[in-house]
Structure 1
Amino acid sequence: MRLLVTREMYYDAAMRLLATEGVSSLKIARLCRELNVSSGSFYGYFGSLDGFVADFLDYWEETQTANVVEMSLAPVDPKKRVRALKELGGGLPHDAEAAIRGWAHTNERVAAAQKRVDARRQQAMADVIGPIVGNRAQARKLAAMGMALLIGLQQWKSPVTKRDYNLLFNEYERVIMDHVDRD
């Protein structure tokens, strides 16, 4: 038995299980077996599976949305921001996110978290694209296009490879950058 695990280790295990075995694998015993710990460790952190799910969704939203948004806004140059956003999107846990999307169809809490994540990502994309296109409505349309590409790719391919991602998002980046050339 492992002596010490962190909450983050549970969340990482959950992401791995979602990516490889799907939502049905998110059980207390399975998570504990994955981390080689007793169920007492799990209950000490989360109290119940519902408590874990709530904390896991908060963690996912924070690490895969808020941190990505913050990092994408770091470069000052708008072109570099688009590139940073594209690179950060490529590093998302696509297979786990596809499983979370499926889970959202059967769990209201997951659906609410998914909607918040999508809304924040779309707004972040519009914020990054806006200064390039100079038009908020056009930025929102391009952000919606980016979200559709991301979600579609995650649902279509498993696993999502870097090649698959770049095939779509290099072209998406070119569409955005065409606006720079027009101005």
Structure 2
Amino acid sequence: MSRIVSREQYFEAALGILADTGFKGLNIGKLCDTLGVTSGSFYHHFTGWQDFVDSFLHSWESGQAAVLRELNFGRGNWATDIAALRQLTVGLNQAAEAAIRAWSANDETVREVQRRVDELRRTTVHRAVRRVVSDEEAAEVLTTLGMAMLVGYQQLSGDLRPPMARLLDEYVRLIDLHHRAELQA
């Protein structure tokens, strides 16, 4: 009996493969094996590899944008916004994200999507930090530090590192210290 899978299941499988083997391990055969389907299933959903890549990247980018939109920044206090960003960051599939970032160094299409996702994230982080830190220069430094921490964490290899949650705790503490200093000034 043949198995029917959706385009979204292909995208989910791709994230898993990226996390496990990196972008070089992502191909039609591996996708089909992972999903337990034939290549005919793949070609039912996609006209070819580039169509899959374009569709996958569109899905990933749209998903990232939707998640950030759903956070509803500015509705609560600044601590709620920062906590939501922290939770979202901890929940990222860091290995798949690292593979996408490595892929972007080798493929212009992926690089452009990664750039847009990074810019969306940077804008969101800056908006959240700016609610806490009124000094624009300090807010810009804290935003860049947050993005550098995420990207750098994804590039580290091995298990000799603290969990992302621990790093984010320190990052939030740093933002809070800036906030407290401004209140005392």
Q: Return the TM-score normalized by structure 1.
A: 0.91
Is the Cα–Cα contact under 8 Å of residues 72 and 82 in structure 1 kept in the other structure? no
The share of aligned pairs that are identical, in percent, is: 36
CA-based RMSD of the aligned residues comes to 1.8
Deviation at 1:40, TM superposition (A): 1.6
Deviation at 1:152, TM superposition (A): 0.6
> Partner of 2:170 in structure 1?
171
Q: Deviations over 1:115-167 (max 9, x none)?
A: 11111100000011111112333322211110100111111145698x51122
> Partner of 1:108 in structure 2?
108
Q: Deviations over 1:33-86 (max 9, x none)?
A: 1101121221121111100000111111121x2133123335511111001101
Is the Cα–Cα contact under 8 Å of residues 153 and 160 in structure 1 kept in the other structure? no
| Structure 2 residue 79 is matched with structure 1 residue 79 | yes
Secondary structure of residue in 2 paired with 1:61? helix
Is the Cα–Cα contact under 8 Å of residues 2 and 35 in structure 1 kept in the other structure? no
CA distance in 1, matches of 2:46, 2:83: 38
Instruction: Rate the CA distance shift 1:52–1:91 in 2: closer, same or farther, 3 A.
Output: same
Output aligned runs, 1:6-155, within 5 Å.
6-63=6-63, 65-74=64-73, 75-155=75-155
Decide which moves more: 2-11 or 110-119. 2-11
CA distance in 1, matches of 2:87, 2:35: 30
CA distance in 2, matches of 1:88, 1:179: 22
Unaligned runs of 5+ residues in structure 1 are: none
Instruction: Rate the CA distance shift 1:66–1:159 in 2: closer, same or farther, 3 A.
Output: farther
Rg larger in 1 or in 2?
2
Instruction: Rate the CA distance shift 1:58–1:83 in 2: closer, same or farther, 3 A.
Output: same
